[in-house]
Structures are given as C-alpha cells and as structure tokens.
Structure 1
Amino acid sequence: MPEGHSVHRIARQFDRNIVGQRVGASSPQGRFSEGAAIIDGRTATRVRAVGKQMFLEFDDDLWLRVHLGMYGAWDFAGEILVDPTIASANGRMGQTNQRGTDLDPVFDAAGENSLSSIGAPRRARVHVRMSEQTTGLADEAGTWPPPVVGQVRLRLLTEVTCADLRGPTACELQTPDEVQATIAKLGPDPLVDGVAEGEERFVAVVRRTPTPIGLLLMDQNVVSGIGNVYRAELLFRARLDPHTPGRDVPEETVRQLWRDWVRLLAIGVETGQMMTMDDLDPEAYRRAMASRDDRHWVYHRAGLPCRVCGTAIVLEEMGARKLYWCPSCQR
C-alpha cells in the first residue's frame, strides 16, 4: 500500500503539471464514466494530500477524492515538469545524519524511486509510475495521447501531460463540505497540520486508549499516512513492543514516535524512498538507496538477525497486516 510520502509526492506532481490546466477526463475502464463526464473540460485549481488520500479541486467547487488503497497507482506520461523542492536520489535530507556526504544519484532496483526524485526542474518527455513501488523512467512516448494500457479507472489529460489512475480503493467526486468531513475524520498529518498541534492530538489519542500501539499507528483516524513499513520501523526505532497498550506507552515515547514520523515522512517525500536507517557511511547509504533490503531495520527481515542484537526478527499478523519486530530490542 502506498504510504503517506508517496501521496504527498503525487500531489506535488499534480500541482506542477495538472493544476491550472483545463483537463480532459475519461474512464477507459468504464467504472467512473459519470464522474469523468462531470470533470471533463473543467480546470484543475488546487490539490491537497492528507495522509494516504489526495483531493484534486476543479472549478465550481468540485473535488475529486482518490485513495490508492493496496493496489492503486498513478501513471504520468508526456511533458513532466519536475518539482524543484524535491531532492535528487542522492537525497540531501534523505541521507539521515550523513553529515554533508555528497553522493551521486542511485536508483532503486525495486522501482520505489520516482521522476520527481531526480531533481532539477525541467521538462522531459517520459513515462513514470507514481505509487509506493514506482517504476521510474520508461521509454519515450511514441504517440500522443498515449494508448490506454490495462484497467484505467480515470484518465486526466492536458495538452501535454497525461495522468492515468489504476486500481484505487476510492475514486469519487465530493462537495467542499464532504471533503472537509472526510479530512476531519483523519488523524494529524505532519505536512498538513501544524507539527506541534499534530503532536498534541496524537499524544492525547494514544495516551487514552488501551489499543496496542502497533494497531494505533496503522489507524488513519489516529495518525495519517503511516503504513506497514513505517509502522514496523518507527516501533523498532523507539524500541517499543508493538503490543503495548497506547495508554501504557510513556508520554515521552509517544512524543518521540510523532517526532520521528515527522522526520521520516520528510525524508520519504524528498527522496521517494522509505529510508529509515541512520548514520550510514557513503557506501552503505548507496546500497540502502539502491535496495530496500539494506534500507530498513526490521521490515521484511523475518528470521534474519536483528541488526542491533542478533535476535531473529519475528513476523506476525497484527491488524490483518504483517508486522516485523525484534523481541529482544523491543521489550
């Protein structure tokens, strides 16, 4: 499932390439034909990302809500104007305590990198997939508009840019009041809410509930944007047992979780990759950026030795999702 950093990156891509443009809309798959017909010919005026959901506004106070869910992704083709606020894959902020180390770009073999993580603002005729597992640059487009491939729920088309949506959990039109109601149900997002205000909301909810912290971090009503990878990594970095009831987690530890999420989310947005390890030397950092197997403390490491204590990492199911943790470090 795409996590919060991916959705914020997608919103930035929309802001630079779709917002301000008159948009043609269609539903090649047919499942959003009525909604596409309403959007068709309107001008996109604003985009918002909150947690794992994106909201694209059109004129006349019409909003498109998209939740990618487990399998959704946006594919961009045409002339893509890169967001200059997002660093290249050498990840200046994404180096996470690399103390100024300057590295050449490294591209993730698993495809988690995206076009906007390449860096400089420029136009390039490319095709790029935007989701948690981004496929990166592909062949130059041979025709315009590009042919429809697969089950495209919604195609948004400007004169030079095409955005295709596949496999979302939610794709619907909303009024401004409905958008506000949807957002009001979500927990704080560090890139939307004030960081200090978000911290207080998060701490208040966690500290009053008996629900295990491993479930609370995945609850989008408690905190927005955290998915399976960030959950496992945040809990390990805090050395926190996932089964600890929220109300039993010391307040300072809850605050530490929030502040670490603020930091890791910013790194993810800038680099396009969920880098969760710190103090890597340049070569280790290069390996981590190129392969997610070298990027995380516990995630996807079931049965392998803990990087800190050597204990075998445990895999269990929590909240219908796989949870990785170290039973020694996280006691």
Structure 2
Amino acid sequence: MTFSCTAETWREINSQPDIWDAWVPELAQARTDIGLWIKDKGIREVWFLGAGTSAFIGDTLAAVAHPTLTLRSIATTDVVGAAMDLPKMRDDLLVIQFGRSGNSSETIGAMHMLDGLAPQVHQLHITCNKDSALATRVAPGPGERRVMILPEATHDRGFAMTSSFTTMLLSALSVLDLEVDLQSQIGTLATSARRLIAQLSSTVMDRPERAIFLGSGALKGIARESSLKVLELTAGQTMTQWDSTLGFRHGPKAAVVDGTLIAVMIHPDPRAGRYDIDVAREIEAQYPNAKVVTIGQEACTVSFVGTKDARWDGVLYVLAAQIWAVMWSQALSLPVDNPFEGHGTLSRVVSGVTLYPFDMDAAE
C-alpha cells in the first residue's frame, strides 16, 4: 500500500528533488561569486553556526577535512549561551550561519555577539526567508557580510525542517567543493531522491516505540537530524536516539529493547562502511526482537545510487526519517504540520530567549 498524506510537510518532502534541480543555475552563479570572495579575503578558517537542524548541517560539513580550510561546527545555542568558551576569532575567519526562518532567538543573539565582539569577521548567511534578520541585517564592518537566499519553496510551512535542511546543506557544499560539477552532482541526487521517495512511500513502516539512528563520519550529523525529525513529528511519542555506529557499542546500545527500530546508515566509503555493516549484523544477532534497517547503496534494506560522498549523499540518507516521521505522525492522529498543536511546548520558530549583553573581559 502506497502511503499518502495531505499535509504540507509531506508535499515539502516530495518536492525536494525538483527544488534542487531548479536551484542549480542560480546556485552555480552564487557559488562562483562567493568562492572568489572567500579567496580574495584570504579565508583560512570557517565556522558553521545554526541551532537544531541548522546546526546539524554544520556537523555534517565539518566532519570531513577540507584541503585548504579549517572547518568547525558551533551551535548558535553555544555561541549565545557560552560565548566565553569560543575560540579566538581571527581576521581570516568566515562564519557561515544557517537559518530556515532566520529569526530565531539564537540567530539574533549570534549576530549581536559577532557584531559587538568580532566585527572584523566575514560572514555568509544562508537562509530560506528573504525578509528575515539573517537576510537583511547590515554588518557594522570592517568584516563583510554576504547572503545566500534559497528558493521560496524551501521556506517550509510545516513545523519540521525538510527541504530547508537538504537545500541549505547542498548550497553550502557547493561553495566548499568548487571542483564538483554542480549540475551533474545535484542531478544524480535528484534522480536518486525521486526513486527513493517512491520506494519508501510504497510500504507503510509500522511505528516503533523507540527509533535509533546510527552513522559514521559525516553521517553522524545526518543520524542526529534523522532522530530529531522522528522525535518532533511524533511529538515525543516515539523516543529516539542517535550516535556514531561504533560509538553506539560503548554503552548507548543499552537503549535497545524488543521492538526498537535501529537504522544503520552504511557509509559509502567501504573502509568505513565495513564497520557499519558489522555493527548492524551484531545488533541483529544480539537483539532478535528488534528491527535493524540498513540505509545506503547496493545491498541495503533501503538502497539508492549516490555520489559516494557521504556529505552530498546525506540528503538521500535523511529521506527515510523524513518519510517515516510523517507516516508515524499520521498514525498517531497528530496534525503533521504542527504536532504540538493545542499544547504549544514547541513552535516552528524558536523565540522567547532573553538575550543578555556579553562582555568577554568581565567575570563574576
């Protein structure tokens, strides 16, 4: 039975391949301009900032070494909450901040902090909202601020970030990986995504009480995002966990009980993938009443043809959690586009944080 749903979130998930394809021409020009700007400014280090799902984009990007740049992922929740712990911000630093709405409390707080304490730092804002603070705020200088505004279709109407996450990830990768043929790379991903969405939608996956997502290297960030998608869209009624594949064996495996779903993302590099496969087999043998699903290329339970680069292929791996989360949300009779409707403990745009001025030299 093919799954169907009338929610905006479901439409947004299904629209991702078309969004990526249509974005390529404009993205190609933006990547050229930004690439030249980064070179001209002598950038040597890049920090990725974001909160929640937007932070996991940075986790995915920073997991793989860059040939000329030092990459670091720092959540804006840490930037705002503990600015005293930040590394030194030098003149050759570029801060790339992600935001779907571009208006969350921590987004604003991070800009306050950078403008006040490190105005020399260059910044690139990648956002889905052309009217947001992230898109419109002017830098005080001398550091320059550039903005990449994604297609309006990525400004998800649903509670959960889906097309916004994948398109921001691909956009940042295009800037960092200038050697890649963008049209071919994104074309491959879009074609595979269409097939994968059809494959995943063709069978309704029963909702587990617990779901665990595992991934190595760049896929650890994707595992974290996958875990959050399920937790959010089921309003916490499916408890989730994430970890690196090998790290899961060092204690966190205690979370597995009968009926748990464990989704193991098999890394496209066979040197890493062999460990993922071994752990998946180990869990199957040790927990026969749990359900182990492998996601990746060739012989996996959920399979696709990717680029063999885990960072780029992350947009394919995450589709399983996006689709299952909608299935399980609907099975729970929740409003998929706002699972917390009626008990507003969570909202689409995180706000309400009191932002305090911060003096890096002061301590009490």
TM-score by length of 1: 0.30
TM-score by length of 2: 0.28
